[in-house]
Structures are given as structure tokens and as C-alpha cells.
Amino acid sequence: MEALLSRVRHVLAAPTEHQRRWRHILTVLLLWLGAFALYLPSAEYDYIYYDDVRILARHPELYHQPQFLDGLKAIVLEQFPREEPLLVRDISWALDSRIFGFPNPHGFHYVNVLLHACVVVLLFLFLLAATRRYAVALLTAVCFVSLAIHVEPVAWVMGRKDLLASAFGFLALLAHSRGIDAGTRGRRGLWYAGSLAFLALALFSKIGTVVLPGLLFLLAVFQPAMREPAVARAAFPWRRILPALLGVLPHLLLSLSVCRWYFGVLTQYGILDRGYTAGPLQHLCNLLLINPMVFVRYLQLLFLPNGLSLFYNWPSLALPFSAGQVALSGAVILLATAGGILLLVKRRDLVFYGLGFPMLMIPFLNLKFIGIWVANRYLYFPAFCLLAGVVTLALDGVRRRPRILGPAMVALLLVFCVGNGYQQRRYLAVWRDSETLWSYELQRPDAAVDVYGNLASRRYMAAIQQSDPAARERGLRQAQEVTARARAAYTGPTGALSPRMYRVIFIDALIAIVRGEPTARQLAALQEVERLNPNYDEVLWQLMVFHYRQAWVATEDAVRREQARLALDYYARDLKVEYRDAEFAAKDRAVRQGFAQDFPFLKPELEKLP
């Protein structure tokens, strides 16, 4: 082991400038090839029936225009509002469609693999520039490549935004680091302009990079300490704070402007503030209770990545918390506070990593409204901070006691990379297609209700696309097998279904409609969904359609009027919760015209609709 460590130290030393240059070039090439090869099998994967179809494949008006410039115009100027106004991601998808065809999933997957390999290289180059410590940059990049949690953003088409945002985020950090070191005003200006441009591209790739100016500030203050132990132990760099703040002020204004535009679009679309009614004090308590447990969960996923999933039931507001879990949250808060103070006082070379990680996680802490608490893709970019901090500590220990800690560090690094790599290979195979993913998720003891809904939805959609009646019926029965399992899993002790089951039960209602079952059965199935979630837009729409049809075929005038008014009432409720995308106005106009033409007696009620 000692001979191996000696050989490694000799290779890493690279005494001459020429040797160092070729060492860096070779390292970049090997990192890129390694990351690319690990995920290349996913280039042959299919779409996942969870956002891939809804956000990408169903929108040729954005990604499959006859002329690319027409698509570019639609993405940047016309198709608003929409659920995810991520212009750079959308343009990249439009380019993929021109090159590989639309809606061919393999091209989108292939570009994801290419981007991930580039992200790994950019991480290495940034750490090399910021720390000037080749070993720190190399080992962090190797650990980053092996992470099992990266399967989700790389192997899922929807992960494009995480890959692009991370690539441009590292480019912004790299440009800012080079700008700090630049010897002339002209070179500083060029690097500074580059950091602003890359920040803008990152923001339009994923809005979570809105906190990136904070990371640029930390870099400007603590980069000298990241390079020299003597600087890290010297007096606190108070003189660097004001110039660093002024330096990132344009970045901050840019981030806030894009963020304001982004959330304005989401507000128009109607995606915010749905179903969460906690007051300010209760919301703060929820955040202080759950987010520390979220941090513990992320540490487990990073260093012990067993049980990877697209959905995690814990922690969640829907679950009761024990006294031990409350104490755990309090302990995490105290330890994090004490750790931050300790870094600022004793280890300023680690402040960038120690404060950078929680800063990058701020967009995912549910500060504004409650969404998803834990997701592997949220950790894709921030993970480098934890890895680089741990690697730096380990290398410092080896430098002080090479004979004792050197072999231990090598062993731990191998265990970490092999363990993550093993879980990475297993989890990557799961993402081959919707059937394999949702079947894997369904085998988990705590399978989320959304898993049942997604698998049932995929089987239902596959069934109704069959032209052969026998094949269609077989597919519908397979979908019902999933909904039956969901009913068994999410029925309470009193026999009542969990309200979270509304999407799953909706599949049963759609199956009843497709089969042409008696109208009483169709209505009962739809009303069961309505009882679980009275504000579910899909069931309100289907109830409107149901009563509209009943009014259309009614032979008695009283029945016709009653059913038509019921249809209009459901449409009025649907309008309050409908997502108002770019096609909403045309759809709303068509529905109102249909009511006016078929049921003229509803004209006064139609005029009262918002």
C-alpha cells in the first residue's frame, strides 16, 4: 500500500509546467470519457410516462416546427404562459429535435449523457482554478462521477434542466475565479462579462440557480484561503467583503429580475399556492422541523445510496413526527450553526463549501410554498460542495499523517466510489422505460401513491392506443390491477380511501368511460374522485363533459336544462383551477361557444363566468 501511495504522489506532483499541462489535458479527457461511458447505455432508453410526454412529446408547436426559427420564436416570444418557462432548456430540446427527430427519445437521452460528461469536466476545471490543488479537483470529480443519485437527472429526459444549469453554473464560477486572478483590467472585464452571461444561461436553464450570486460572493471572499493554508489561518478577510459584494451586485439584480419574470409566468399559469393553507408561523415551524431531516436524508443518499427512488415519503407533512425526530431536527440545526461558526473561525478554506451547499439548496427548501421535499435531482449541482469539503479534509489529514491516514483514505475512497458505482449501475437499469421504473418503485415497501397512479396511467394510455379490442381490454385490466393494489395499500382502518388516491381512482373512472359502462357507473366513478379532491381539474372537466352529453341526448326539456346547468357549474369550477397555458384562451372560447350554441337558455349564466 505504501508503494502504491508513493507512486500516486509522484504522478500527482507533476513538477514542471509542461508536465502539469499535459496531466490536466489527460485528466479532462479521462474524466469526460469515464462519465460518458458510464451513462451511455441510457441513450437507448425510452420516455418515462411522468412529465416526459406531458411537457415535451405533446408540444410539437415548441419543439417540432418546420423551421427552427419558428420554433425559436414560439419558445422565446409566443407560447406563454407555460408550466416551465425554461428558455435555454427548451431551445436545446428544439435543437435535439432538428438533429435526431421528434419525438425520438434517444436523441434527448444521448445529449443528456454528453452534457453530464461536460459537467464533470467543468467541475474539475473550476476546482483546479479556484484551489490550485490538483488532488482536490481530481478526487472530487471522481467521486462526483460515481454518485448514484445522479442517475435521475442524467437518465431522465426531464433532467436536462439540471445538467444545463450545472454546466453554466460551473462556467460562471470558473469565469469569476479567473476574473479574480486576472492581472489586467481588460482581462478582468472579459471574465466578468463571461460570469454574467453564464449566470443568465443558468437561470434560463433552471430557476434554482437564482442563488448562484451568493456562491460567487463566497468565492470572491474565500478563494485565497482555499489555496493557501497560511491565508486560511490568517485574520478574517474583512477587506474583501465590500468589493466582493459590489462585484456580484449586477449578478444579484439579474437573478432577481429573471426570478420575478419566472414566477410571474407561473402565477399566470396558475401553478402556485395550491392546497397549502398554513399561516406564516406554522409554515416557519414546518420548515424548521422538516428541512433538517431533509438534510439528513440527503447525507444518507450521498454516502449510503441504498433505496433510491423518484419519490420519497419521508420526511413529509403527511406523516406524524416522533419526539426523537423533533430532537433530531433541533440537533441538526445546532450542529449546522456551530459548524458554520467553526469554519469561519478555524477553517476558512472550507467556508466556500460549508456555506455554499446550504445556499445552493435554498430554492428546494419550500420557503415560498410546499412542493417536493426530497429529490435526487436537487442534489446534482450542490453535491460538489460536500464532496470537495470532505476530500479537502481527508487530504489535509493525509498530509499530516501519511503513514496512518493515507491507506485509510484510499480505502474509504474506494468504498465510497465502489458503493456508489454499484448502486448507480443497478438504478440506471431501472430507468429503461416507464414499465421498469414504476414496477421498481412499486416493489418498495413505502411506495408512494403517485407510483400507482403513474403506472396505471401508462398502462391505460397504452391500452387505449390499441386498435385490437382484445389487446385494449387486456391493457385496461392490467391498469385496473394497479388501481386495485393502490386501493388495498391506501385504504384506512375505517375503510376510507386516502385523499391522495384521487389520481389513481381517476384512472378507474376513465376506464369506465372508455368501456362505455352504464352512465350511472361512470357518474359514480367520477364522483368518487370528486369526493377525494373537489378541486381536481381533470375530474371537473370530465364531469362537465359527462353532463354536457347527458343534456345533449336528453329528450325531456327539464332534464336537458338540469344537465346543461350541471355541466356549466362544473366548467365554472374548472375555470378556477385550470392551468392557464398558451392554449387556454382558445379552449375556453370554444367551450363557451359550444354552450351558447347547444344550450341558448344558458346565456345569462355564461355571461357571469369569469
CATH number, domain at 563?
A: 1.25.40.10
% the chain with pLDDT above 70: 97
pLDDT computed for residue 7 by the predictor: 53
Q: Same domain for 149 and 56? A: yes
List residues bridging with 491 in a β-sheet.
497
Residue type at position 12? L
Chain centroid to CA 452: 20
Question: Which of 138, 136, 171, 141 lies closest to 38 in space, CA to CA?
Answer: 141
Q: What is the mean pLDDT of residues 583-587?
A: 91
pLDDT band at 18; cut points 50, 70, 90? confident
pLDDT computed for residue 583 by the predictor: 87
Question: Residue 547's domain spans which residues?
Answer: 436-576
Does 393 reside within a domain? no
Grid cell listed for 32: 469526460
Does 181 reside within a domain? yes
Q: What is the pLDDT of residues 98-118, one digit of tens each?
A: 999 998 999 999 999 999 999
Q: Same domain for 314 and 453? A: no
Q: Same domain for 422 and 482? A: no
Q: What is the pLDDT of residues 321-371, one digit of tens each?
A: 888 888 999 999 999 999 999 999 888 999 999 999 999 999 999 988 788
- The larger pLDDT score, comparing residue 439 to residue 9, is at 439
What's the pTM value of the predicted model, to 2 decimals? 0.93
pLDDT computed for residue 270 by the predictor: 85
Q: Same domain for 355 and 476? A: no
Q: Same domain for 440 and 427? A: no
Q: Same domain for 426 and 475? A: no
Cβ atoms within 10 A of the Cβ of 511, count?
A: 22
Q: Same domain for 293 and 175? A: yes
Number of domains in the chain: 2
Q: Same domain for 13 and 137? A: yes
| 315-350 residues labelled b (16+ CB within 10 A) or e (exposed) | beeeeebeeebeebbeebeeeeeeeeeebeeebbbb
Does 600 reside within a domain? no
Q: Same domain for 267 and 298? A: yes
Q: Does 174 score more than 60 pLDDT?
A: yes
Does 264 reside within a domain? yes
Least confidently predicted of 174-183, 278-287, 530-539: 278-287
pLDDT computed for residue 276 by the predictor: 66
pLDDT computed for residue 9 by the predictor: 56
pLDDT band at 10; cut points 50, 70, 90? low
Q: Same domain for 100 and 145? A: yes
Question: Which of 390, 394, 396 lies closest to 357 in space, CA to CA?
Answer: 390
pLDDT computed for residue 398 by the predictor: 82
Q: What is the pLDDT of residues 405-450, one digit of tens each?
A: 778 888 888 999 999 999 999 999 999 999 999 999 999 888 889 9
pLDDT computed for residue 13 by the predictor: 56
Secondary structure (DSSP) of 308-322: --S---SS-TTS---
Does 606 reside within a domain? no
